[in-house]
Structure 1
Amino acid sequence: MRSHLIVLFFLIFSLPSAAQQIIIKDTITNRAKDTVPTFENLYDISDGFKDISRFIRRDTSKRVQKKRSGISILPNINYNPSIGFQIGAKVVGGLYLGDRSHTAMSTFATAVSYTTRGIMVGYLSHDTYTKHNKWNIKGGAVIAKMVALDYGMGMGNTIPTDIPQEEVLNNPQRNRYVNQYTVYSLNERLYKQLLPGMFVGAGVFIELKRNIRTLGEHQETPLAVYSDLTGYNPNSYNNNGLMFNWQYMTRDNPNSAYKGIYADVVLRMSQTWMGSAQESFQLQTDFRKYWQLSTERPNHVLAFWHWGSYNVAGKLAYLDLPGTGRDTYSRIGRGYTAGYFKGNSFFYSELEYRFPLLRNQFLSGVVFANVQTADDRLGTKLFQQWQPAAGTGLRLLFNKATRTNLCIDYAFGRFGQRGLFLGLNEAF
C-alpha cells in the first residue's frame, strides 16, 4: 500500500514539475527578490496539467487566459492509519458573496468515498458568509458506514484497579478493538455579526447511530463496558439537541490562512425532548492563530491550534466521547489513529511552522508538534497526563484561486503510533 502511495506522490509531483521545466519560466524568481508574488504568478497543479497538454499538442498559439474557477473537481484520494487508503470523488469550492475587502470567502465541499477499511461516506458541508459578513451559516449532512479503531478510554496510563470492567475500559495495554456502525448526521448553525469579526448564533444537531457492534470475538470490550456503566444502548441510540455559539474570525482564508484569528465556542446540549437517548452538556472550544512571518513570502507562517471539549453535565455515549481525530474534519492528533485517546473531557494543542520551498508557492513544507490530554474513570484528571506527537510534510498548491493544497504528512507518536496522512487543505 505504501509503495502505491509513493508512486502516486511522485506522479503528481513530477508531472507539473516537468512541464514547468519544459514550458514555462518562473516569473517570480526572475523578478526582484523583494517583490511580493501576485495571483497570476502563482503556479498550481492545474497549471501543470495545462502545460503538459500544450507540450503534447505542441500548441504554440497564444490563448486568452480564462478566469480561474474557485471550484475543484478531483479524485477524493486520502490515506491515514485510521481509515486506510481512500478513493472517491470530491468537489470543493470557494467564492465571495460580496467584495472580498469586507466579505470572507464562503466554502463548500461534497464527496463520496470508500476506504480499504470498509468505510463508506457521503457528505455535504458548507461555510457561508453573506455580504459584509452580516450572517454566517455553516453546517452539513453525513451518511456513512463507519469502521473505527478503538483503544479504550483515557491516555493509556497504568493506574491499578480491582474492577475488571474498568481495566478493560481504561485499556493500559492499548489492545486494539474495531467498532462498526452506521451514522446519519445533520447539523446547521446560524450566526449574526455583532461587531466586525464577532458573531453569536444558535444551531441544531441530529445524530443517529445504528447497527453498532465490535468486530471479532471478545469477552468484554470498551464499548460494551462503557455502555453498561452509563446506561446507553450498545447497539443504537440518538444524540440530538441544540447549540449556542460564539465566533470571532479575522483569518484571511479558511483553507490556508496566512494571518488572523479564528475562534469558536459552542455549547452542545443533548436533550431527551428532541429524541436524544440521554441529556448531556458539552462545551467545545476551537482557537486558531496565524502569524505571517514575511510579506515577501506570504505563505511563510507560524500557526497555532487549540481544540477542546469539556463535560459540563451528563454523560455522552461512547462513540461520541471527544478525543483524537474527533473534530469536524478528523484532523486533530496527527501521529495517532482517530479515537486513540478519549475521555469525558479532552484538550489538544498544536504548533505548525509553514515555509515556502518555491517562490511561486507550488511547493512548500511544514513541521509540526502537538500534545493532547484527557480524563478517565480511574481518577486521572484533565491536564494531568499528556501524550505528544510530531511530524513533517509537503504541500502542493492544488488550486491557487482558493489556496487549496494537497497535503502529504508523516507523523509519529507514542505506543508505536505513526503513519502517513494524505489529504486536501491544511489540518487547520
Structure 2
Amino acid sequence: MQRYLIALFFTTIICFSRGQNIVLQDTITNKPEDSIPGYAGLYDISDGIKDIGRFIRRDTSQKVSERRSGISILPNINYNPSIGFQIGAKIVGGVYLGERENTAMSTFATALSYTTRGIIYGYFAHDAYTKRNKWNLKGGLVIAKMVALDYGMGMGNTITTEIPEEQVLNNPDRTRYINQYTVYGLNERLYKRLLPGMFVGAGVFIELKRNINTVGDHEITPLTVYSDLTGYHAGRYNNNGLMFNWQYMTRDNPNSAYKGIYADVVLRMSQTWMASAQNAYQLQTDFRKYWQLSEYRPNHVLAFWHWGSYNIGGTLAYLDLPGTGRDVYSRSGRGYTNGYFKGSSFFYSELEYRFPILRNQFLSGVVFANVQTADDRLGTKLFERWEPAAGTGLRILFNKATRTNLCIDYAVGRFGQKGLFLGLNEAF
C-alpha cells in the first residue's frame, strides 16, 4: 500500500509541476496570499486539474474565474500505522466572519470514513471567530466505532517486579494488544476576547464509551488490570464534565501558519454529578510558535509545538489516559502509533522546519523531530524517561484560499516503530 501511495504522489507531481513557472510579482514582493486578488502566483491542485482539462480540450481561450472557494470537497484518504489505510468523504472549509484585517479565519471540517483496521469514524468540528474576534466558539461531535492499538502504560521501562499484573500493565516487552469500543462524544467551548489575541472561556464535554473489549484470548490485559486497580468498569463508562479555558492566539492561519503564536490552557473536570464514572481533574496545555524565516518566501518557517496533559486530582479511565496522538486532532507523536506511550500525565514537544521547494508553493517540504515522556504506576515520574522520533515529509498545496496542504510524512521512533503518515493540513 505504501508503494501505491508513493507512486500516486510522484504522478501528481509530474502532472502539476508545470505550474511552478506561474509566479507573479505579487508573490515576489511578499504580500500575504490572502491580500492578493485571486491569490496570484500561488498554484494548488485545483489549478492543476483546470490546466489538465484545458490540455485535454486543447482550448486555451476559456478564462477561469478569479473567485476561489474556501471549501474543499475531497476523498478522505489517509494512512498511518495506527489506523491503517483510510477511505471516505471529507469537507473542509474556511471563511471570514469579519474583515480579514482584524478577524481570524473560521474553519470547519466534517467527514465519514472507514479504515482497514475496522474503524468507522464520523465527526463534525468547528473553530469559529466572530467579527473582530470578539467571540470564539470551538468544538465538535464524534460518533465512531474504534479499534485502538495498545502497548500498556508508561514508557516501556524494564521492570524487576514479578507481579504478573504489573508486568502486563507496564508492558516492557511492548506486546501489542488491540482494544475495540464505540464512542459518542460532544464538546463545546465558548471564549470571550479580553485583550487583542487573548480569550477566556468555559465549556462542556460528554464522552460515552461502550462495548469495550480487547481482541484475542488474553487472561489479563492492560485494560483489565488498570480498570481493576482504579475501580472503572472495563466494558463501559461515561466521562462527562466541565472545562475552563484560557487562550492566546496571534497566528495568521490555523491550517498552515507562517508566523505568530497559539496557546491554549484547559482545566478539564470530570464530574460524577454529570454522570461521569468518577471525578478527575486534568490540566491540558497546547503551545505553538511560528517563526517566518524569509522575507520573500512566506512558507519558509520554523515551528515549535508543545502539548501536555497533567493529572491534578482523581483518576482517568484507561482509554482516556493522555499519551501519543491523544491531542485534539491525533497528530502528535509521528513515528509511533497512537497511544504507544501513555500515563496519568504526559508531556510532548516537537520542532519542525518547513521549506519551499517550488516558488509557487505547490510543493514544499518539512523535517521534524519530537520527544515525549509519561509517568506510570510503578514510580516512574514525568520527565524521568524520554523517547524521541524524527522524520521528513512533503507538502502539496491543496487549496490556496485556506492554505490547506496534503501532507505526506515518514517518521521513525524507537522499539521498531516507524511508518508513513498521510493527512490533510499541517500536524500543528
Alignment TM-score, normalising by the size of structure 1? 0.97
Counterpart residue number, 1:36: 30
Alpha-carbon distance, 1:422 to partner: 0.3
Counterpart residue number, 1:234: 234
Alpha-carbon distance, 1:64 to partner: 5.0
Equivalent position to 1:27, from 20, 23, 39: 23
Do the aligned residues in 1 keep the contact of 2:187 with 2:205 (CA within 8 Å)? yes
After TM superposition, the structure 1 = structure 2 runs for residues 43-58 of structure 1, keeping only pairs within 5 Å, are 43-58=43-58
In structure 2, C-alpha distance between the alignment counterparts of 1:50 and 1:34, rounded to whole Å = 24
Alpha-carbon distance, 1:10 to partner: 2.3
In structure 1, C-alpha distance between the alignment counterparts of 2:242 and 2:336, rounded to whole Å = 31
In structure 1, C-alpha distance between the alignment counterparts of 2:407 and 2:124, rounded to whole Å = 21
Structure 2 residue 259 is the aligned partner of structure 1 residue 265: no
Deviation by residue 1:352-398 (Cα, 9 ceiling, x = unmatched): 00000011100000000000000001110000000000000000000
Do the aligned residues in 1 keep the contact of 2:26 with 2:41 (CA within 8 Å)? no
In structure 1, C-alpha distance between the alignment counterparts of 2:333 and 2:12, rounded to whole Å = 26
* Amino acid aligned to 1:55: F
| Partner SS state of residue 14, structure 1 | helix
Counterpart residue number, 2:401: 401
| Partner SS state of residue 225, structure 2 | helix
Deviation by residue 1:22-77 (Cα, 9 ceiling, x = unmatched): xxx4234xx59953265211000110000000110011214252400000000000
Structure 2 unaligned blocks of 5 or more = none
Change (3 A) 1:217 1:64: closer
Counterpart residue number, 2:253: 253
Runs of 4+ more than 2 Å apart: 10-15, 25-28, 31-39
Do the aligned residues in 1 keep the contact of 2:187 with 2:204 (CA within 8 Å)? yes
In structure 2, C-alpha distance between the alignment counterparts of 1:47 and 1:249, rounded to whole Å = 32
| Partner SS state of residue 5, structure 2 | helix
Structure 1 unaligned blocks of 5 or more = none
Counterpart residue number, 2:173: 173
In structure 2, C-alpha distance between the alignment counterparts of 1:404 and 1:166, rounded to whole Å = 45
Counterpart residue number, 1:416: 416
Do the aligned residues in 1 keep the contact of 2:27 with 2:40 (CA within 8 Å)? no
* Amino acid aligned to 1:377: R
Percentage of identical aligned residues: 80
Do the aligned residues in 1 keep the contact of 2:161 with 2:167 (CA within 8 Å)? yes
Deviation by residue 1:124-172 (Cα, 9 ceiling, x = unmatched): 0000000000000000000000000000000001121132211110000
After TM superposition, the structure 1 = structure 2 runs for residues 72-91 of structure 1, keeping only pairs within 5 Å, are 72-91=72-91
Alpha-carbon distance, 1:14 to partner: 2.6
Counterpart residue number, 1:389: 389
Counterpart residue number, 1:95: 95
Change (3 A) 1:49 1:190: same
* Amino acid aligned to 2:23: T
Q: How large is the RMSD of aligned CA atoms in angstroms?
A: 1.3
Structure 2 residue 204 is the aligned partner of structure 1 residue 204: yes
Structure 2 residue 67 is the aligned partner of structure 1 residue 71: no
Change (3 A) 1:64 1:79: closer
In structure 2, C-alpha distance between the alignment counterparts of 1:88 and 1:205, rounded to whole Å = 26
Counterpart residue number, 2:17: 17
Alignment TM-score, normalising by the size of structure 2? 0.97
Do the aligned residues in 1 keep the contact of 2:122 with 2:143 (CA within 8 Å)? yes
Counterpart residue number, 2:130: 130
After TM superposition, the structure 1 = structure 2 runs for residues 323-402 of structure 1, keeping only pairs within 5 Å, are 323-402=323-402
Deviation by residue 1:402-425 (Cα, 9 ceiling, x = unmatched): 000000000000000000000000
Do the aligned residues in 1 keep the contact of 2:305 with 2:351 (CA within 8 Å)? yes
In structure 1, C-alpha distance between the alignment counterparts of 2:288 and 2:30, rounded to whole Å = 25
Change (3 A) 1:294 1:69: same
What is the aligned residue count? Answer: 422
Deviation by residue 1:270-320 (Cα, 9 ceiling, x = unmatched): 000000000000000000000000120000000000000000000000000
Deviation by residue 1:57-111 (Cα, 9 ceiling, x = unmatched): 0112142524000000000000000000000000000010000110000000000
* Amino acid aligned to 1:139: G
